[in-house]
Chain A
Amino acid sequence: MAEQYSIEINGHAYAVNFGQKLLDVATSNNIFIPNLCSHRNLGLIKTCDVCFVEVNGELFRACETEVAPGMKVDTKSTRVKDAQYEAMSRILENHELYCTVCDNNNGNCEVHNLARYLELDHQKYEFRPKPYPPDYSHPFYRYEPDQCILCGRCVEACQDLQVNETLTIDWKREIPRVIWDQDVAIDNSSCVSCGHCVTVCPCNALMEKTMLGEAGYLTGIPDKILQPMIELTKVVEPGYSQIFAISEMEAAMRETRTKRTKTVCIYCGVGCSFEIWTKGRHILKVQPTVDAPVNGISTCLKGKFGWDFVNSKERLTKPLIRKGDKFVEASWEEALQFVVTRLSEIKDKYGPDSIGYIASSKCSNEENYLFQKFARAVMGTNNVDNCSRYCQSPATVGLMRTVGIGGDSGTIQDIANSDLVLVIGANAAESHPVLATRIKRAHKLHGQKLAVIDLRINELAQRADLYLHPQPGSDLILLSAVTRYILDKGWEDKDFLSERVNGFEEYYKSLDKFTIDYAAKITRLSETEIIKLATMIHEAKSTCVLWAMGVTQHIGGTETSTAISNLLLVTGNYGRPGTGAYPLRGHNNVQGACDFGAVPTWFPGYERVDNHEVRTRYEEAWGVSLPTNPGLDNHQMVEEIQNGKLKGLYLFGEDMALVDSNSNHVRSMFEGLELFIVQDVFFTKTAQYADVVFPAAVSLEKEGTFTNTERRIQRFYQVFEPMGQSKPDWIIFQDLANQLGANWNYKHPSEIMAEAASLTPSLAGVSYERLEGWNSQIWPVDINGKDTPLLYTDGFALADGKANLLAVDWIKPYDPGNEFDLHLNNGRLLEHFHEGNLTYKSKGIVHKVPEPWLEISYELAEQRNISEGALVRLVSPYGEVKVKVMVTNRVKGNELYLTMNTAEDFAAVNHLTSSYHDRVTHTPNYKEMSVRMEVLTEEGERPLPIVNHRFGHPIPQIGVKVEEKWNRSDYIPIPALTELGGNEYGESNHLH
């Protein structure tokens, strides 16, 4: 326990912990000490100087002063007030107060609020514009140097929280400013548009472009009137208090118009939550807050800026029915009636198992629950699955069979606090950007070790202490050899193994063949590299392993996931803070779709459908008899269409025609369906094959919950009404079920959650009341609402509370033959989500990344005599694509990387992938393909524009380098000034 003692603040005693900072002590005891640069999510900055207080009679910054026993603090003395006044005056020399006509005047402008608090009535130092024009070059935000108070929050956020290392303050020039890279236009810099800087800016220096001219009542005034108006205000203003009064009235008026709604991001599985500010349907901005349990103020560019799709003109707003060779708009009554008739006909004719149901990992828990209930209780089949089949099912199974729960073992906090993070086959910096920031930060600032196993030198690989590039598909051998080496060296956690793990002997025998020598031969890594990894794991007090599609999308995906879990068990890396297995979930609710039962073998909470006792519970609750056998998964459904057994398919929120592997085959299967119902927000590639298309509402148009990769359930709230005649998915299911005689009567998603919680032991205590606002619950949640951020502290979720070590063997990856000489890897990228059906609706994102590209190595480019921009055709046994080339050192030798951000048939990677799949879970082996490359043109226009962050030149440094500010000849430390008194400082007038 931390050492405790007491200090005195303004004559009162307060208990403090050793090492606490004075500002934090004051804040937690509701004593306000002015501050501007400090921020709960950021490190110490020390630039603003407004937090000076008297400590034992001397002036110190409260933000950096550590408490000490017997310390006497005065936060209100005249000297303190004088110091704060001086500091604030210096700030206002850099910032013009024209609050009423400022888009940041929303009650949360920290500069405004502090000037008001300090009762500053006049500018002590005259406002001095900076000799730099505003930078509007970036599509999403602008920098106005004249308003920048040089607090350096943006720099700290960029350097040490996002760790993109783009922003610095150039303290050396006569009038300092924030610069991007080596002082280039923002758009041309290494900026990844994550928005951290804009979010933490305490004033209007950095602002979202969507706010400009929109947020205030007077801010839309044309510049030629606005500027003279500001001048006029400055001339006639009697003092700031009147200005503040008017601006606060205006801010209060804005509150009635600007709606702030908490939401949860709909992109990846990290589960960022934030407020979304709207004016009517116009999205003013995304405003993250320190209260968000996963991300705090962090976002990536998609979460912060990628919401244009919501109001896209391409949204589906009316039901469509296929009539001949066209779709015709229909009323809801007509479309529902059509579906009811056709579903009933097919069910009667071919039986309930002739229809498949594909749920959506983009939609809410309640919607997935209701959809599986619809399939099981109304339509009588377990043929229900979701897109985790395409990504993380192998990880789920690998974990369920070793430790019992198919989810992350801990939270993002555990990853941040771990001694060693091992990332295998995951590009977290692009696919899970906010989660990656926590690793980058811990690695940069807190000595965390980072090891990366990947084919590509992605961003985390570049930063890693150890980067291993094994032969594609050989991870299991590498991991097993590392485990065996650890055992051979006697580095295993013996107590952990004997007390908490079953099956050691048999498992140990299975490692016989995985010698370092054998591993080196197959993986083509050096023995030293493999031993280095084993040693790093041994030396770390805690290890987290993170993995994703690079592991799972293989024939042996489940086996490799199991090998990861085995390694963690042998080294005792479960059940303690900072340890565990983290299969990073790709979609916002891929975890929840599985948790809430949209899986052919499981009811909600992973209880088997063929378990009599469990089934009886559901039959009693739902008042129906339920099918007894597990249903078909996605892959089997497609197979059964081919076999003529599956006649109907109902799919929502999933573009299967693009994202399933071997697209050409899948599409030809769709053509064989008698009834295909597609429900989506856009007219997707899949919808083109539909008989009926239902228009669905987006997350901002409904309420619900999502479950992120940590197993954390979070609520999102309705912002505005559904567009056109689109409806929330759960309402569509209910309407349809009722037309089929179900008699459901859910009035709000909370009622669906209550039902799910009442039936699912692991969700027993989940409720909307407990999830109110920024609250969240991490399942398992007991009936009293106690949740479980860290799993396995008391035991594993298996029969006897012990984990299983499970022998696994390597399965050689699929090889299409010598003719296909180049290995094809593929995946997401930062800017577009998945194939991009949402992100391509954002002009700003398209400006940064207009199209997909193929990464090839310098060696290959030279060998084939092609340069960047060359157009090539890739041919696999399953299809072909045409793409432009980027030459990069991210890939080596004969390995290619094709980005998946396209819905265009000529470039979509799944025209190349096969129908082979993971042996256990049927997840397609997307990552096992080789191709032949034909050069169509040897050069051409580069597919990635120069304004992309990948061409930038970051300037890594720790923080804002405030020492450089202090070393400037014109900087006079405030304590020195207050000690001088007289004309240099104080009651008199100021010489400067």
Chain B
Amino acid sequence: MAKAITYIEHQSFNEIDEQDLAIAELIRATSSNREAIVATLDILHTLNEIGVLAIMQGLLKSRTDVGQIAIQLLNQPNLTRALKNGMNAIQFLGSIEPAKLQTIFLGISHGLQRAVGSLQERKQSSYWELGRGIREPEVKSSLLTILAFIHGVGEVFYREETKVH
């Protein structure tokens, strides 16, 4: 006669069994990763010696409060501006086509050479020579480029000024 029973005796050694299994598993994993673990322990040792672990422990334990302070710090106008400027600068660099920039750099470099040469010659220049120089195709091209650059800058300034927010 099997009467209904509800009492289940959980074997007490089961917990110990499970612990043993877990430890055996750990030992297996440790022995197959011996070198990596020893190296890691060495790093940990050094970090502990120089106090980094203590700092990390402190930070992690009070992560919410520290995180809040850090975010507040980041949220200061100066810092957000710096962050944004940084990102804008990266974007700016990214937006320029390298080939075009290279042409301009080459031009500037060559122009510098000539400028330095002209300075060394210390030759007296007449207005006549200046006027003649402007008519030269190289100078004309350079001046038009600068004009176009100024034009472009102005366009953006104008657009930004009239923007409605």
Q: Mark A952-992, 1 if CB is under 8 A from B, else 0.
A: 00000000000000000000000000000000000001110
Q: Are A320 and B8 in contact (CB under 8 A)?
A: yes
In the complex, what distance in Å separates the CA atom of A228 from the CA atom of B68?
A: 8
A688 touches which one: B4, B11, B80 (CB < 8 A)? B4
B83 touches which one: A222, A236, A690 (CB < 8 A)? A236
State the Cβ distance, B65 to closest chain A Cβ, in Å: 9
Instruction: With A228-B72, A689-B4 as known contacts, state yes or no: A327 contacts B84, CB within 8 Å.
Output: no
Instruction: Please tell me if A670 contacts chain B, counting CB pairs below 8 Å.
Output: yes
User: Would you list which residues of chain A between 214 and 251 have a CB under 8 Å from chain B?
Assistant: 221-222, 224-225, 228-229, 231-232, 235-236, 238, 242
Q: Are A683 and B8 in contact (CB under 8 A)?
A: yes
Instruction: Please tell me if A325 contacts chain B, counting CB pairs below 8 Å.
Output: yes
In the complex, what distance in Å separates the CA atom of A222 from the CA atom of B67?
A: 10
Chain A contacts of B3 at CB under 8 A? 325, 671, 689
In the complex, what distance in Å separates the CA atom of A296 from the CA atom of B142?
A: 67
Instruction: With A228-B71, A327-B7, A328-B11 as known contacts, state yes or no: A236 contacts B2, CB within 8 Å.
Output: no
In the complex, what distance in Å separates the CA atom of A297 from the CA atom of B39?
A: 52
Q: Are A238 and B88 in contact (CB under 8 A)?
A: yes
Chain B contacts of A991 at CB under 8 A? 164
Q: Are B68 and A236 in contact (CB under 8 A)?
A: no
Q: Are B67 and A325 in contact (CB under 8 A)?
A: no
Chain B contacts of A690 at CB under 8 A? 2
Chain B contacts of A231 at CB under 8 A? 75
Instruction: With A328-B11, A990-B164, A991-B164 as known contacts, state yes or no: A688 contacts B71, CB within 8 Å.
Output: no
In the complex, what distance in Å separates the CA atom of A98 from the CA atom of B122?
A: 62
Instruction: Please tell me if B123 contacts chain A, counting CB pairs below 8 Å.
Output: no
Please give the number of chain B residues whose Cβ is less than 8 angstroms from any Cβ of chain A in the complex. Answer: 28
Instruction: Please tell me if A444 contacts chain B, counting CB pairs below 8 Å.
Output: no
Q: Are A327 and B5 in contact (CB under 8 A)?
A: yes
State the Cβ distance, B12 to closest chain A Cβ, in Å: 10
Instruction: With A326-B8, A688-B6, A991-B164 as known contacts, state yes or no: A224 contacts B1, CB within 8 Å.
Output: no
Chain B contacts of A329 at CB under 8 A? 8-11, 14
Q: Are B164 and A672 in contact (CB under 8 A)?
A: no
Instruction: With A322-B2, A671-B1, A691-B2 as known contacts, state yes or no: A229 contacts B8, CB within 8 Å.
Output: no
Instruction: Please tell me if B53 contacts chain A, counting CB pairs below 8 Å.
Output: no
Instruction: Please tell me if B91 contacts chain A, counting CB pairs below 8 Å.
Output: yes
Instruction: Please tell me if B125 contacts chain A, counting CB pairs below 8 Å.
Output: no
B71 touches which one: A229, A326, A667 (CB < 8 A)? A229
In the complex, what distance in Å separates the CA atom of A669 from the CA atom of B161?
A: 92
Instruction: With A236-B83, A236-B84, A238-B84 as known contacts, state yes or no: A225 contacts B8, CB within 8 Å.
Output: no
In the complex, what distance in Å separates the CA atom of A221 from the CA atom of B163?
A: 37
Q: Are A222 and B64 in contact (CB under 8 A)?
A: yes
Instruction: Please tell me if A375 contacts chain B, counting CB pairs below 8 Å.
Output: no
User: Would you list which residues of chain B between 64 and 103 have a CB under 8 Å from chain A?
Assistant: 64, 67-68, 71-72, 74-75, 80, 83-84, 87-88, 91
A232 touches which one: B5, B11, B71 (CB < 8 A)? B71
Q: Are B75 and A232 in contact (CB under 8 A)?
A: yes
In the complex, what distance in Å separates the CA atom of A225 from the CA atom of B63?
A: 10
In the complex, what distance in Å separates the CA atom of A657 from the CA atom of B4?
A: 10
Interface residues on A, range: 35 or more
Chain B contacts of A689 at CB under 8 A? 2-4
Q: Which A residue's beta carbon lies closest to that of B8?
A: A327
Q: Mark A170-199, 1 if CB is under 8 A from B, else 0.
A: 000000000000000000000000000000
A326 touches which one: B1, B5, B74, B162 (CB < 8 A)? B5
Instruction: With A225-B71, A228-B68, A991-B164 as known contacts, state yes or no: A236 contacts B80, CB within 8 Å.
Output: yes
Q: Are A326 and B164 in contact (CB under 8 A)?
A: no
In the complex, what distance in Å separates the CA atom of A685 from the CA atom of B5?
A: 9
Chain A contacts of B75 at CB under 8 A? 228, 231-232, 235
State the Cβ distance, A339 to closest chain B Cβ, in Å: 15
Chain B contacts of A222 at CB under 8 A? 64, 67
Q: Are B88 and A989 in contact (CB under 8 A)?
A: no
User: Would you list which residues of chain A between 659 and 691 have a CB under 8 Å from chain B?
Assistant: 667, 670-673, 676, 683, 685, 688-691
State the Cβ distance, B42 to closest chain A Cβ, in Å: 29
State the Cβ distance, B157 to closest chain A Cβ, in Å: 15
Q: Mark B121-149, 1 if CB is under 8 A from A, else 0.
A: 00000000000000000000000000000
Q: Mark B1-35, 1 if CB is under 8 A from A, else 0.
A: 11111111111001000000000000000000000
B7 touches which one: A225, A326, A676 (CB < 8 A)? A326
In the complex, what distance in Å separates the CA atom of A990 from the CA atom of B91?
A: 25
State the Cβ distance, B21 to closest chain A Cβ, in Å: 12
Chain A contacts of B4 at CB under 8 A? 667, 671, 685, 688-689
Q: Which B residue's beta carbon lies closest to that of A328?
A: B9
Chain B contacts of A235 at CB under 8 A? 75, 80, 84
Instruction: With A224-B64, A329-B14, A989-B164 as known contacts, state yes or no: A688 contacts B5, CB within 8 Å.
Output: yes
Q: Mark A310-347, 1 if CB is under 8 A from B, else 0.
A: 00000000101010011111000000000000000000
Q: Are A225 and B67 in contact (CB under 8 A)?
A: yes
Q: Are B74 and A232 in contact (CB under 8 A)?
A: yes
Q: Are B7 and A325 in contact (CB under 8 A)?
A: yes
Instruction: With A225-B71, A329-B14 as known contacts, state yes or no: A676 contacts B8, CB within 8 Å.
Output: no
List 11 other contacts, CB 8 Å, given A224-B68, A671-B2.
A222-B67, A232-B74, A235-B80, A242-B87, A322-B5, A326-B9, A329-B10, A672-B1, A683-B8, A689-B3, A689-B4
14 A-B contact pairs sorted by A residue (CB < 8 Å) = A224-B64, A225-B67, A225-B71, A228-B68, A228-B75, A232-B75, A238-B87, A238-B88, A325-B5, A327-B8, A327-B9, A671-B2, A685-B4, A989-B162
Residues of A within 8 A of B (CB): 221-222, 224-225, 228-229, 231-232, 235-236, 238, 242, 318, 320, 322, 325-329, 667, 670-673, 676, 683, 685, 688-691, 989-991
5 closest Cβ contacts across the A-B interface? A688-B4, A228-B71, A236-B83, A225-B67, A326-B7
